[in-house]
A and B are shown apart, each in its own frame.
Chain A
Amino acid sequence: MGWPVHVADIAAQGGTSCVGEGSVAGDGLGLALGVDDGEGDGEGDGLLLTVAVGVDPHAETTITAASASSPTLRLTGHSNEEAWWEVTDLRRQGTGAQGYGETGAGETDEFAAGPSSNPTNEQAECARTPVRLYSGARVHPRRPRHAIGGAMTTVRLLVGTHKGAFILTSDERRERWNVDGPQFTGWDVYHVKGSSVDPNRVYASQSRGWFGQVVQRSDDGGKSWEPAGNEFKYEGAINTHKWYDNSDHPYDFTRVWHLEPSLTDADTVYAGVEDAALFKSTDAGKSWEELDALRHHPTAPSWAPGAGGLCLHTIIQDPKNPDRLVTAISSAGAFRTDDGGKTWAPINKGLRSNYIPDEDAEVGHCVHHIAMHPSRPNVLFMQKHWDVMRSDNGGDSWTEVSGNLPTDFGFVIDVHAHEPETIYVVPIKSDSDHFVPDGKLRVYRSRSGGNEWEALTKGLPQKDCYVNVLRDAMTVDNLESCGVYFGTTAGEVYASNDAGDSWKPIVQNLPAVLSVEVQTLA
């Protein structure tokens, strides 16, 4: 008796990575894991055993493993090839056992474990009896890109909607999702995003026309929340921007559109707000300071709002240069600082907006969203009001890559987690008809960084569909088979766990979705 199990990776251990499947036997748990040492030469690759916990999603699992008091593991080789084994004791307390063994096809190997003072998985409940481990043939000889040291990966989606926030969780298979929420019931939640430094630190922007802005902070991955600071005070003199009728309108804080946690410090977070400004907190959201050089840029008095307001909605940090930030404002354009926010420059060369008489206008472009792959911070992809654009020089100049898209209007754009030239958009019919064209919900993917696009439709409604996908409502996870997620104004969140080849709704009938972010948790 047993049940199949699946483990994504244990790459955190000594640079070795693995992914595979095995079976839970009646007398214990065994996982047969394919190993790739990353050298690319085949040497050192093979089968790797680890003992893990919690891998069966349907039952409590008690793990047994070798221990100092009963230091024997029996390993039975089932495959036709010789295999070597690594055994890791996962005892919660006290000494553990770890070491290496080797077995041939059909052979049973006794493994005498040595003590370890460094148990690798505190979640494990470890009995003191040996376990029988089966290698089996269900090994994925693939190199994983993520690491979890014997524990399951959790994928956590943070979904902001017009009436609250929802948190969706799944294991790495991304087949069954638990929906938790709503949080902040009745409030607009424009954005929820977790820190990459401390994934349990999550920030949420909660606002309401009646009551203004509240920033919420969680230190337990969204289980509980605490209101943080909500005083967004513009620095210095209040200047003006253009209003819809071209009159001058004083800058007036309305809400936070986007929260961008720092790449290096969990207490530091940026906020992009309406009316357009960039704020920064270094105390976990308690207090906010405007990086006001942006709002005091000489072009700022000419900035005019888009239909959603004059909002700073995109904040991109350069992982290789902490002084560089790229922001985007509707409808002023994109701006970049290379000195941590002291000075800013418009980066809109090459953008063409048919409502602006001057083809080379420095500002005034309605940039909807920008995406970047962290491995190539100089390559930026942009979904503009109309036109999909790319830059290969950090925004200094842009070229259009709309190619064969059915319409190049849209809001979202994102980049595959592992393929920097694979990008995704969701074309929208037009600026007057904010829904997908022809009643068909289609994600378009380009594997060439633009120009050549393919429609991804499997699992998506292909008739009578009239939804929109807003600018912060698409994201990608970091699992080996890249997950892609997006939310619609009809309250659905769709997921693909095969980089967009196929889709399914993982929750439906939520309030209109404003934002979707994902965390891949070890």
Chain B
Amino acid sequence: MIRVVLPANLRTLADVGREVELEVGGAVTQRTVLTALEAAYPMLRGTIRDQVTQKRRPMLRFFACEEDLSDESPDAPLPEPVAAGKEPYLIVGAIAGG
């Protein structure tokens, strides 16, 4: 199971806790994880990546294993501890505003 940590506003929207677990078939990449996440929680479509372009929304970042993966290829394999379910994939909202 892939573990995904959501920012607070998206937890409220999806009515879930801090972390969700997902089954991801095949290669574990950012694209496949986000696709599985949106399939399990359709209300999240468009809130993390643009529905048309599939681009990451500008004020969100993606992290795993203490690395910023935001600008990595969405099709690059995620670190093995994420694929093994030992470490979570983190979706983080930018600290902005006051």
Contact = CB atoms under 8 A, between A and B. Distances in A.
Nearest to A206: B13
14 contacts: A184-B13, A185-B12, A186-B9, A206-B13, A209-B96, A210-B57, A210-B94, A211-B7, A212-B46, A212-B57, A214-B43, A230-B43, A230-B51, A233-B52
A214 B10 CA distance: 11
A54 interface: no
Interface string B7-49: 1111011000000000000000000000000000011011110
Given A211-B57, A212-B46, A213-B46, A233 B51 contact: yes
| Interface of B, helix, strand, loop or mixed by DSSP | loop
**Chain A, interface size: which category?**
10 to 19
A230 B12 CA distance: 16
| Interface of A, helix, strand, loop or mixed by DSSP | loop
Given A231-B51, A233-B51, A208 B46 contact: no
Given A187-B13, A211-B93, A230-B46, 11 more contacts: A184-B12, A186-B8, A186-B12, A187-B9, A210-B7, A210-B57, A210-B94, A211-B13, A230-B47, A230-B51, A231-B46
B51 A211 contact: no
B64 interface: no
A374 interface: no
A141 interface: no
A208 B43 contact: no
Contacts of B50: 212
Nearest to B42: A227
B60 interface: yes
B46 A210 contact: no
The 6 A-B residue pairs with the shortest CB-CB distance in the complex, in nearest-first order: A227-B43, A211-B47, A210-B59, A230-B46, A210-B93, A231-B51
Nearest to B47: A211
Given A227-B43, A230-B45, A231-B46, A211 B52 contact: no
Nearest to A164: B12
A211 B46 CA distance: 7
B67 to A, nearest CB: 21
Contacts of B47: 211-212, 214, 230
Nearest to A207: B47
A231 B47 CA distance: 10
Contacts of B8: 186
Contacts of B96: 209-210
Contact of A214 (B7, B13, B93): B13
Interface string B48-69: 1011100001011000000000
Contacts of A210: 7, 9, 57, 59-60, 93-94, 96
A211 B45 CA distance: 10
Nearest to B43: A227
B48 A211 contact: yes
Nearest to B8: A186
B24 to A, nearest CB: 22
Nearest to A234: B52
A212 B10 CA distance: 11
A231 B9 contact: no
